[in-house]
Protein backbone atom coordinates (compact mmCIF):
# COMPACT_ATOMS: atom_id res chain seq x y z
CA UNK A 1 0.00 0.00 0.00
CA UNK A 2 1.41 3.35 -1.07
CA UNK A 3 0.75 5.97 1.61
CA UNK A 4 1.78 9.60 1.77
CA UNK A 5 2.32 11.88 4.74
CA UNK A 6 -0.69 14.08 5.41
CA UNK A 7 -0.30 17.52 6.91
CA UNK A 8 -1.71 18.19 10.35
CA UNK A 9 -1.58 21.24 12.56
CA UNK A 10 1.26 20.69 15.05
CA UNK A 11 0.33 20.23 18.69
CA UNK A 12 1.79 22.35 21.47
CA UNK A 13 5.16 21.15 22.77
CA UNK A 14 6.62 21.48 26.25
CA UNK A 15 9.08 24.37 26.35
CA UNK A 16 12.60 23.31 27.17
CA UNK A 17 16.18 24.45 26.95
CA UNK A 18 18.78 22.80 24.78
CA UNK A 19 20.42 19.90 26.64
CA UNK A 20 24.07 20.51 27.45
CA UNK A 21 26.82 18.27 26.11
CA UNK A 22 27.59 16.09 29.13
CA UNK A 23 30.78 14.10 29.49
CA UNK A 24 30.12 10.38 29.71
CA UNK A 25 32.72 9.98 32.47
CA UNK A 26 31.06 12.45 34.86
CA UNK A 27 27.70 13.80 35.99
CA UNK A 28 24.93 12.90 38.42
CA UNK A 29 25.13 9.40 39.82
CA UNK A 30 21.67 8.30 38.67
CA UNK A 31 22.35 9.47 35.12
CA UNK A 32 25.77 7.78 35.17
CA UNK A 33 24.07 4.48 36.08
CA UNK A 34 21.49 4.92 33.32
CA UNK A 35 24.22 5.67 30.78
CA UNK A 36 25.90 2.42 31.77
CA UNK A 37 22.77 0.60 30.63
CA UNK A 38 21.94 -0.76 34.09
CA UNK A 39 18.43 0.70 34.25
CA UNK A 40 16.47 3.93 33.88
CA UNK A 41 17.27 6.95 36.04
CA UNK A 42 14.12 6.38 38.08
CA UNK A 43 15.16 2.82 38.91
CA UNK A 44 18.71 4.04 39.55
CA UNK A 45 17.29 6.31 42.26
CA UNK A 46 15.89 3.25 44.04
CA UNK A 47 19.22 1.40 43.78
CA UNK A 48 20.99 4.38 45.31
CA UNK A 49 18.42 4.84 48.10
CA UNK A 50 18.71 1.13 48.97
CA UNK A 51 22.48 1.34 49.39
CA UNK A 52 23.25 -0.80 46.34
CA UNK A 53 25.63 1.73 44.79
CA UNK A 54 29.22 2.49 45.78
CA UNK A 55 31.60 5.18 44.55
CA UNK A 56 35.26 4.57 45.30
CA UNK A 57 34.29 1.97 47.91
CA UNK A 58 31.78 4.16 49.75
CA UNK A 59 28.00 3.67 49.68
CA UNK A 60 26.23 6.70 48.25
CA UNK A 61 22.59 7.42 49.06
CA UNK A 62 22.06 10.68 47.10
CA UNK A 63 20.98 10.37 43.45
CA UNK A 64 22.40 13.83 42.73
CA UNK A 65 25.91 12.87 43.87
CA UNK A 66 28.40 14.08 41.24
CA UNK A 67 30.61 11.40 39.73
CA UNK A 68 34.01 12.66 38.54
CA UNK A 69 36.17 11.25 35.80
CA UNK A 70 38.23 8.37 37.17
CA UNK A 71 35.77 7.44 39.93
CA UNK A 72 35.02 3.74 40.36
CA UNK A 73 31.26 3.11 40.46
CA UNK A 74 29.81 -0.25 41.50
CA UNK A 75 26.20 -1.46 41.46
CA UNK A 76 25.65 -4.54 43.64
CA UNK A 77 29.41 -5.03 43.69
CA UNK A 78 29.86 -4.91 39.90
CA UNK A 79 31.93 -2.14 38.32
CA UNK A 80 29.98 -0.20 35.70
CA UNK A 81 31.00 2.36 33.10
CA UNK A 82 28.93 4.62 30.87
CA UNK A 83 28.53 4.06 27.14
CA UNK A 84 27.12 5.92 24.20
CA UNK A 85 23.39 5.48 23.77
CA UNK A 86 21.87 3.99 20.63
CA UNK A 87 19.00 5.80 18.88
CA UNK A 88 17.46 3.79 16.06
CA UNK A 89 14.60 4.40 13.63
CA UNK A 90 13.00 1.31 12.08
CA UNK A 91 10.43 1.08 9.31
CA UNK A 92 8.55 -1.82 10.83
CA UNK A 93 7.15 -4.44 8.44
CA UNK A 94 4.07 -6.58 8.95
CA UNK A 95 4.17 -9.90 10.82
CA UNK A 96 6.80 -8.62 13.27
CA UNK A 97 6.43 -8.49 17.06
CA UNK A 98 7.29 -5.21 18.83
CA UNK A 99 9.34 -6.63 21.68
CA UNK A 100 12.97 -7.41 22.41
CA UNK A 101 12.33 -11.16 22.70
CA UNK A 102 9.33 -13.37 21.99
CA UNK A 103 8.74 -16.49 24.08
CA UNK A 104 7.02 -18.19 21.14
CA UNK A 105 10.00 -17.68 18.86
CA UNK A 106 8.26 -15.29 16.47
CA UNK A 107 10.20 -12.66 14.52
CA UNK A 108 10.74 -9.48 16.54
CA UNK A 109 11.82 -5.96 15.64
CA UNK A 110 15.20 -6.62 17.30
CA UNK A 111 15.82 -9.39 14.78
CA UNK A 112 15.85 -6.72 12.08
CA UNK A 113 18.47 -4.47 13.71
CA UNK A 114 22.00 -5.74 13.16
CA UNK A 115 24.98 -3.56 14.02
CA UNK A 116 28.61 -3.81 15.00
CA UNK A 117 28.94 -4.05 18.76
CA UNK A 118 25.52 -5.63 19.17
CA UNK A 119 22.21 -4.23 20.37
CA UNK A 120 22.37 -5.01 24.08
CA UNK A 121 19.87 -2.91 26.00
CA UNK A 122 18.04 -1.73 22.88
CA UNK A 123 14.26 -1.66 23.35
CA UNK A 124 11.27 -0.35 21.35
CA UNK A 125 9.63 2.83 22.61
CA UNK A 126 5.93 2.06 22.67
CA UNK A 127 4.26 -0.72 20.73
CA UNK A 128 2.92 -1.40 17.27
CA UNK A 129 0.78 -4.49 16.91
CA UNK A 130 1.97 -7.37 14.77
CA UNK A 131 0.47 -6.18 11.48
CA UNK A 132 0.83 -2.43 11.93
CA UNK A 133 3.72 -1.01 9.91
CA UNK A 134 5.81 2.15 9.89
CA UNK A 135 7.74 4.35 12.31
CA UNK A 136 9.21 2.62 15.36
CA UNK A 137 11.82 4.24 17.58
CA UNK A 138 14.25 2.07 19.57
CA UNK A 139 16.91 3.17 22.04
CA UNK A 140 19.18 2.13 24.88
CA UNK A 141 18.45 5.46 26.60
CA UNK A 142 15.93 4.21 29.15
CA UNK A 143 15.17 7.60 30.65
CA UNK A 144 14.40 9.16 27.27
CA UNK A 145 12.33 6.18 26.15
CA UNK A 146 10.17 6.07 29.27
CA UNK A 147 9.56 9.81 29.19
CA UNK A 148 8.48 9.69 25.56
CA UNK A 149 5.96 6.99 26.49
CA UNK A 150 4.60 8.90 29.48
CA UNK A 151 1.21 10.47 28.69
CA UNK A 152 2.10 13.76 30.38
CA UNK A 153 4.41 14.68 27.48
CA UNK A 154 1.64 14.09 24.91
CA UNK A 155 4.00 12.87 22.19
CA UNK A 156 2.11 13.06 18.87
CA UNK A 157 1.68 9.99 16.67
CA UNK A 158 0.25 10.06 13.16
CA UNK A 159 -1.24 7.12 11.27
CA UNK A 160 -2.93 6.34 8.00
CA UNK A 161 -5.61 3.66 8.03
CA UNK A 162 -7.45 1.91 5.22
CA UNK A 163 -10.85 0.51 6.07
CA UNK A 164 -12.85 -2.28 4.47
CA UNK A 165 -15.99 -0.14 4.21
CA UNK A 166 -16.29 3.63 3.61
CA UNK A 167 -16.25 5.80 6.73
CA UNK A 168 -19.00 8.41 6.83
CA UNK A 169 -18.29 12.06 7.85
CA UNK A 170 -20.55 11.71 10.89
CA UNK A 171 -18.48 8.70 12.00
CA UNK A 172 -15.30 10.79 11.72
CA UNK A 173 -16.96 13.35 13.98
CA UNK A 174 -17.90 10.63 16.44
CA UNK A 175 -14.31 9.34 16.59
CA UNK A 176 -13.07 12.90 17.04
CA UNK A 177 -15.49 13.63 19.88
CA UNK A 178 -14.77 10.30 21.55
CA UNK A 179 -16.33 6.90 22.10
CA UNK A 180 -16.46 4.50 25.03
CA UNK A 181 -14.16 1.47 25.01
CA UNK A 182 -13.98 -1.30 27.57
CA UNK A 183 -11.07 0.50 29.26
CA UNK A 184 -12.68 3.94 29.23
CA UNK A 185 -13.44 6.84 26.88
CA UNK A 186 -11.13 7.40 23.92
CA UNK A 187 -10.84 10.08 21.25
CA UNK A 188 -8.52 11.04 18.42
CA UNK A 189 -6.78 14.42 18.53
CA UNK A 190 -7.51 14.77 14.83
CA UNK A 191 -9.02 12.59 12.11
CA UNK A 192 -9.45 13.43 8.41
CA UNK A 193 -9.80 11.92 4.97
CA UNK A 194 -6.27 11.85 3.51
CA UNK A 195 -7.61 12.23 -0.02
CA UNK A 196 -10.69 14.09 -1.29
CA UNK A 197 -13.62 11.83 -2.13
CA UNK A 198 -11.90 8.73 -0.69
CA UNK A 199 -13.73 7.59 2.46
CA UNK A 200 -11.54 4.48 2.77
CA UNK A 201 -8.25 6.30 3.53
CA UNK A 202 -8.18 7.96 6.95
CA UNK A 203 -5.51 10.13 8.60
CA UNK A 204 -5.30 10.01 12.39
CA UNK A 205 -3.35 11.88 15.05
CA UNK A 206 -3.34 10.97 18.73
CA UNK A 207 -1.05 11.07 21.74
CA UNK A 208 -2.44 8.15 23.72
CA UNK A 209 -0.84 4.73 23.43
CA UNK A 210 -3.41 2.15 24.49
CA UNK A 211 -3.18 -1.39 23.18
CA UNK A 212 -4.69 -1.62 19.66
CA UNK A 213 -6.55 1.63 20.33
CA UNK A 214 -7.12 2.67 16.72
CA UNK A 215 -8.39 -0.73 15.62
CA UNK A 216 -10.67 -0.98 18.66
CA UNK A 217 -12.14 2.48 18.13
CA UNK A 218 -13.01 1.72 14.52
CA UNK A 219 -14.36 -1.69 15.51
CA UNK A 220 -16.70 0.05 17.96
CA UNK A 221 -18.33 1.62 14.88
CA UNK A 222 -18.36 -1.73 13.03
CA UNK A 223 -15.41 -0.80 10.83
CA UNK A 224 -12.54 -3.16 10.11
CA UNK A 225 -9.09 -1.73 9.40
CA UNK A 226 -7.36 -3.67 6.62
CA UNK A 227 -4.09 -1.70 6.70
CA UNK A 228 -2.57 0.57 9.35
CA UNK A 229 0.70 2.46 9.14
CA UNK A 230 2.31 4.85 11.61
CA UNK A 231 3.80 7.60 9.49
CA UNK A 232 5.16 9.84 12.23
CA UNK A 233 6.25 9.52 15.87
CA UNK A 234 7.56 12.55 17.78
CA UNK A 235 8.33 14.12 14.40
CA UNK A 236 10.28 11.08 13.13
CA UNK A 237 9.23 9.70 9.74
CA UNK A 238 10.40 6.85 7.50
CA UNK A 239 11.02 8.97 4.41
CA UNK A 240 13.64 7.31 2.19
CA UNK A 241 13.71 4.31 4.55
CA UNK A 242 12.40 1.12 3.00
CA UNK A 243 10.13 -1.27 4.88
CA UNK A 244 12.17 -3.55 7.15
CA UNK A 245 15.22 -1.25 7.10
CA UNK A 246 16.65 0.86 9.93
CA UNK A 247 19.10 3.68 10.54
CA UNK A 248 20.59 5.52 13.49
CA UNK A 249 19.26 8.98 14.28
CA UNK A 250 21.42 11.99 13.55
CA UNK A 251 22.40 14.55 16.19
CA UNK A 252 19.69 17.00 15.15
CA UNK A 253 16.96 14.36 15.57
CA UNK A 254 18.32 13.31 18.96
CA UNK A 255 18.39 16.91 20.21
CA UNK A 256 14.77 17.34 19.08
CA UNK A 257 13.69 14.30 21.14
CA UNK A 258 15.52 15.73 24.15
CA UNK A 259 13.67 19.03 23.75
CA UNK A 260 10.31 17.25 23.56
CA UNK A 261 10.77 15.79 27.03
CA UNK A 262 12.37 18.91 28.50
CA UNK A 263 15.66 17.16 29.25
CA UNK A 264 18.12 19.58 30.78
CB distance 230 to 158 below 8 Å: yes
Q: What is the 3-state secondary structure (H, E, C) of the chain?
A: CCCCCCCCCCCCCCCCCCCCCCCCCCEEHHHHHHHCCCCCHHHHHHHHHCCCEEECCEECCCCCCEECCCCCEEECCEEECCCCCCEEEEEECCCCECCCCCCCCCCEHHHHCCCCCCCCCCEECCCCCCCCEEEEEEECCHHHHHHHHCHHHCCCEEEEEEECCCCCHHHHHHHHHCEEECCEEECCCEEEECCCCCCCEEEEEECCCCCCHHHHHHHCCCCCEEEEEEEEECCECCCCCCCCCEEECCHHHHHHHHHHCCCC
* Cα–Cα distance for residue pair 146/41, rounded to 1 Å: 10
Active site positions, annotated: 129
Amino acid sequence: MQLCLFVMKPMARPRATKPPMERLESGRLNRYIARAGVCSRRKADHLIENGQVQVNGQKIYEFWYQVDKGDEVRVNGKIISPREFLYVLLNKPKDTITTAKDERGRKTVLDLVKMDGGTKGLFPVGRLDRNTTGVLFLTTDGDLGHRLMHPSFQIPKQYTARTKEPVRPDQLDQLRRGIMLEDGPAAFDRIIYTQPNNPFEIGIELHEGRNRQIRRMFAALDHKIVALERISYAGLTTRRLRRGRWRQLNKKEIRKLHRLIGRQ
